[in-house]
Amino acid sequence: MQIRVWMGAISDRGRRTEAAAMSEQAEHGAAHRQKNTPGWTVTARPMIDVAGRILCLVLGAALLVAGLVGLFTGATEGELLIVLAAGLLLLVMPSIVDRLVKLRAGQFEVELIRQIAVNARKTAEALRRLGLADQLDAYATIYTELRDPELKGIRGEVLDRIVQRVSNAAAVEKFDKAEVRELFLNGSPIVRVLALGLMQGDLSLVDGDVLQEAIDRSLTGNEQYHALKVVRDGWGRLSDTQRNQLVNAIKTNARIERGPARREVAKEILGLGVSPRIP
C-alpha cells in the first residue's frame, strides 16, 4: 500500500514536471515568435516610402505646371524661379535620397573639415568650435555625389549653402588671413569656394592675388561667381593696381559671359571703374 502511494506521488510529480516543461516550452515559443515578428513600423516603412515618393512627384509636377502657367499670367520672375526650383527639387528628391542611402550603406563621406585642417589648422578648429563640422561635411558629401547633368542647379545651391554657412561664421569669428589664402591656393574646388565665402563674411580677409586667380583660372563657374561678389563687395579694400588688374581680367574673360549671374556682378564691378569707393 505504501509503495503504491509512493508510485502515485512520483507519477504526479512527473506529470507536474512534464506539464511545467511543456508550459515553459510554449512560453519560449511564444516569446520567440514575438521576437521574430516585425513591428508595425518595420512593415509600414515600405508603404510610407512609396507614398512619400509619389507625393514628391505629384507636388513637383504640380509646381512645374504652376510655374509654366505663371509665365502667361504676369507673375514676377522671382516668384517663378522659386516655384520652378521647388518643383524641380521635389521631382529629383527620390533619386537624391536613394544616393544618400547608398552612401550611408557604403560608409562614404567627404570629410571637408579634415581637408581644411591640412593647410589651415586654426580655421578648421574655429569651424568645429562653431558647430559647423558635421553640416559642412554633409553638404560636401551631397555636392560630390550629385554628378548627373540634370542636378547641376542643385549642386550649385548646395555649394551656395556652404558659402553662406562659412560667411556667417566669418562674421562672428576672426579667421587668419594667411590661412584663408593657403586654403584657396592649395584646396580642392569645394575648399576654394569655401575660402571665398570666408572673405565674403569678413572683408578684411580679401586678397587681391586670390581674386585674380579665381577669376582668371577658376575651377568652377560657382567659384568665379563668388570671386566676383568678393571683388564687388571688397572694392574699397583693394589697391589701385589690384583694381586695374581685376577690371582687365573681367573684360578679357569670356567665361563670365556664360553665366547670367556672373555677367550681372561683372557689370556692377565695371560700373565702379577704378574708384576706391566702397559700394
User: Nearest Cα to 190, choosing from 257, 256, 83, 116?
Assistant: 116
Query: d(Cα 183, Cα 175) in Å, to the nearest integer?
Result: 12
145 in the same domain as 121: yes
Give the domain-ending residue among 167, 201, 235. 201
194 in the same domain as 114: yes
236 in the same domain as 185: no
pLDDT, position 55:
75
276 in the same domain as 210: yes
User: How large is the angle between the packed helices 77-106 and 40-70, nearest 10 degrees?
Assistant: 150
Decide if 3 is inside a domain: no
Q: Which residue's entry shows cell 586654403?
A: 183
Q: Higher model confidence: residue 42 or residue 265?
A: 265
Highest mean pLDDT out of 127-136, 155-164, 245-254 = 245-254
Mean pLDDT of 138-160: 75
Q: What is the largest distance, in Å, between two alpha-carbon atoms of the chain?
A: 125
Decide if 21 is inside a domain: no
**pLDDT tens for each residue of 73-83:** 767 777 767 77
Residue 58 belongs to what domain range? Answer: 51-92
**pLDDT tens for each residue of 34-58:** 444 445 444 555 666 666 667 767 7
**pLDDT tens for each residue of 215-241:** 999 998 889 999 999 999 999 999 999
Give the domain-ending residue among 37, 61, 92. 92
185 in the same domain as 259: no
pLDDT, position 108:
38
Range with the lowest mean pLDDT among 35-44, 206-215, 245-254, 268-277?
35-44
Q: How many domains does the chain have?
A: 3
Q: Report the mean per-residue pLDDT for the chain.
A: 76
3-state secondary structure the chain: CHHHHHHHHHHHHHHHHHHHHHHHHHHHHHHHHHHHCCCHHHHHHHHHHHHHHHHHHHHHHHHHHHHHHHCCCCCCHHHHHHHHHHHHHHHHHHHHHHHHHHHHHHCCCCCHHHHHHHHCHHHHHHHHHCCCHHHHHHHHHHHHHCCCHHHHHHHHHHHHHHHHHHHHHHHHCCCCHHHHHHHHHHCCHHHHHHHHHHHHHCHHHCCHHHHHHHHHCCCCHHHHHHHHHHHHHCHHHCCHHHHHHHHHHHHHCHHHHHCHHHHHHHHHHHHHCCCCCCC
C-alpha cell at 161: 549653402
Examine the pLDDT at 146 and tell me if it is beyond 50.
Answer: yes
C-alpha cell at 11: 507519477
193 in the same domain as 210: no
Examine the pLDDT at 248 and tell me if it is beyond 50.
Answer: yes
221 in the same domain as 195: no
Distance between alpha carbon 170 and the CA centroid of its chain, in Å? Answer: 19
Give the domain-ending residue among 169, 201, 233. 201
Decide if 17 is inside a domain: no
146 in the same domain as 213: no
Query: d(Cα 224, Cα 216) in Å, to the nearest integer?
Result: 8
What is the share, in percent, of the chain residues with pLDDT greater than 70? 64
Examine the pLDDT at 205 and tell me if it is beyond 90.
Answer: yes
Decide if 15 is inside a domain: no
Query: d(Cα 29, Cα 69) in Å, to the nearest integer?
Result: 62
Claim: this prediction has a pTM higher than 0.75: no
Decide if 43 is inside a domain: no
Range with the lowest mean pLDDT among 65-79, 135-149, 152-166?
65-79
**pLDDT tens for each residue of 83-113:** 777 776 666 666 655 555 444 444 334 578 8
Decide if 20 is inside a domain: no
215 in the same domain as 271: yes
Decide if 186 is inside a domain: yes
Q: Which residue's entry shows cell 569678413?
A: 202
C-alpha cell at 92: 529629383
253 in the same domain as 178: no
181 in the same domain as 142: yes
Decide if 273 is inside a domain: yes
Examine the pLDDT at 256 and tell me if it is beyond 90.
Answer: yes
153 in the same domain as 119: yes
